[in-house]
Amino acid sequence: MTSRTRWEPAVTVLAKPYAAEMEVSVDRLVYVRDDEYTVARMSADGLPGFVASGRALAGVQPGETLRLTGEWDDHPRHGHRLVVGRCERVVPSTVRAISLYLGSGLIRGIGPRLAHAIVSHFGASTLTVIDTEPGRLRDVVNIGAVRQEQIVQAWAEQKEIAALMVVLQGFGISPLLATKIYQVYGAAAREVLTGDPYQLIGQVRSIAFHTADRIALRSGVPENSPRRIRAAVLDRLEAAAARDGHCFVPLPVLLAQAAALVEQDREPVERAVDGLAAERRVVVEASPAGQGQSVVYSKERHGREVALAANLARLCGARSTLPHRPYAEDQTLHPDQRAAVNLALTSTVSVLTGGPGCGKSHTVKVIAATVRAMGGSVTLTAPTGKAAKRLSELTGLPAMTLHRMLAHRTDPDDGTLFQESPARADLVVVDEASMLDLQMATRLAAAIPSGGHLLLVGDGDQLPSIGPGSVLADLLGVPEVPRVRLTHVFRQAQDSGIVRAAHRIRAGEPPELPGGGGFWFEELDDPALVADRVIHLATEAIPRKQNIGADQVQVLCPMRKGETGTAELGRRLQERLNPAREGDAEHWSGASVFRVGDRVMPIRNNYDKGVFNGESATVTAVDPLERRLEIRTDEGRTVEYAFGETDELTHAYAISVHRSQGSEYPFVVAPVVAEAGGVMLRRSLLYTLVTRAKAWVVLVGDREALELAVHRAGHPRNTGLTARLALALRT
């Protein structure tokens, strides 16, 4: 029996009017939300194109054939659509569906033209031929041995991923994870899922304890399994590092958190910690700060912290190899600046801090010029490409990223001032040192030879690093480490409303409102209205008033989630500035869609590609045939990402304040609201946000939220570097 309501002529009637069950092909994705709610355009034999929506569609890709169960619905905004309650992936069986599947880009190496040629040759038997007689593919024009092998391999991968999706759905887990799991484990993925799902934690991005634990428990792993409890302990250690930047967790806290996670008594958790310590996967020791309690490190973070303290002590205790030739002091410098110059020339390790407008960059320029005049070599470096570029512009000298310096590149044509490893210069200057995490600082200190000078330059009131540790703050906590803090704000900076607001925030005082001189605050208390206003300012009001492109305006957000978070504001900004265009290729990865022209940034260091967390780039190509996209970094390098690697990229239309560190933007717009309790709002975040702007910063939101941020100090990170370094320097 069939129903022909409106334009769905071939619909099987189920329990009530408008219910439907049908086999369809996915034409394109329209919208994917973070909670996996998906909207897609569908088509089927005998049906015009229509819209389907629902969480059951999570992970579907253009070209797939689906069996959908749902109900037709008239939405006031989205019109007539099928609300899907159940979605089952099926092998396409009709010539049309097979042609759409092969030409969609799901099978690497086959585009629409080749798909048409293959299906024209083999008809409805096409997939059977690929599966059982792949040699016959070479009967088709333009398919040789290499292309045949490519097609067969891609077809096998797609079948395995589809099977993984079924397994995951059986465990109540998002099918979106299937591709990520397959990329890590390949053909062994299903065996890992059913054999030891706790392996997935830390190996597959987006899989933490809760996901692996659900699979394990449904596979029959006992709730009191030692393997399960050990996984919980390691998960709490990694969560503390990833979420809060801690290097260690106090033992009583870790025991309580892990016990709560697995709903077990404390005793089996204590045994789990003892076992992990015996296997040297964790280190349990007395608190480095002498607080009378034991703390727990992961093996890797403990080793790095110990090595960093040892290498810093080595550098501090070494005799300087800097050429000691007479130099004339620059009398135009402020006395604090002259003190900083002297300190950098006489101390093998020193720290230079200060707020905006206090002349840190000019001081670095004088230090570098003085060392070169004395016959020494200098390396200027910073954690990100943008920070290095800005350092170079402000000093007039070449600068590079820390990653590049530590890669030991010595090409004489790359702008360096010497032929040997740049880390072996007489003076290494690291700007934006507040961004140094434990891992990078450990590599840095190990690379500098004894006798070389290391100058760390930064603002200790900014946010700490994204990664674990608080290296700059830890060094400032050791009295024996030489330092100079610049406090004098120069006259030209005193006229900046941004500088005035920043110094008030740093002092724990609310900025003057509504502001002026480049700092503005617009008061709105409804998050939805705040989001609308931020979008309008970033895409219309500021570009029109300043006669600039919208790419000169950066939206920064304290949070990721909510109406004013990076995810939702970024989606809306992308749709406004770079919407989908008929005929243009795009690629969906989870809830993100990548198009040519998108502003993106890597969120993970990838040494093979030579790209690093926090760099800025633009998507320059999306190639469905080869299943890859191409980005061009702001440093001018072209980098390829396979579609399966795009979770290493995030859109940069709206970014977190943390990810903006080391960068400056002509114009900044930011929401300041107390969504979710304003948990991220704190003084260091607001201070960092305001100081990212060069010309204007416009804050939109709730005055109470602004004052909350000003008065709320951040939580210190659990690290042992201060105590370890102080002990090493005193012995």
Contact 118, 126 (CB under 8 A): yes
**Can you give the pLDDT at residue 133?**
92
pLDDT value for 2: 36
E strands, 33-140, are: 38-44, 47-54, 65-75, 79-90
316 is in an annotated binding site: no
Sign of CA dihedral 687, 693, 698, 701: negative
Check if the beta carbon of residue 387 is closer than 8 Å to that of residue 688: no
Token readout for 91 is 């092998």
Is residue 360 part of an annotated ligand binding site?
yes
Measured distance CA(337)–CA(339) in Å, rounded: 5
Each residue's pLDDT tens digit, 391-440: 998 888 899 989 889 885 444 344 443 446 888 999 999 999 999 999 99
Contact residues for 435 (Cβ-Cβ < 8 A; gap 6+): 382, 383, 384, 387, 458, 465, 466, 661, 662
Query: Which among 722, 719, 728, 725 is positioned nearest to 301, based on CA atoms?
Result: 719
What's residue 410's pLDDT? Answer: 41
What b/e sequence results for 608-627 when a residue is b if at least 16 CB atoms lie within 10 Å of its CB, and e otherwise?
eebbbbbbbbbbeebbbbeb
553-557, strands of its sheet edge to edge: 515-516, 519-523, 693-701, 665-672, 553-557, 654-656
Looking at this protein, which amino acid is placed at residue 440?
M
Tokens 């409805």 sit at which residue? 124
pLDDT of residue 610: 79
* Segments in the chain below pLDDT 70: 1-18, 325-328, 408-420, 491-493, 676-679
Answer whether 680's CB lies under 8 Å from 590's CB.
Answer: no
pTM given for the model: 0.88
Q: Which of 502, 488, 484, 489 is nearest to 353 (CA)?
A: 484
Predicted confidence at residue 425, as pLDDT, reads: 92
Q: Give me the pLDDT at residue 5, please.
A: 35
- 359 annotated to bind ligand: yes
Supply the DSSP symbol for 719. -
Pairing of strands 628-633, 638-642: antiparallel
Which three-class secondary structure state does DSSP give residue 708? helix
The response to whether 701 counts as a known ligand-binding position is no
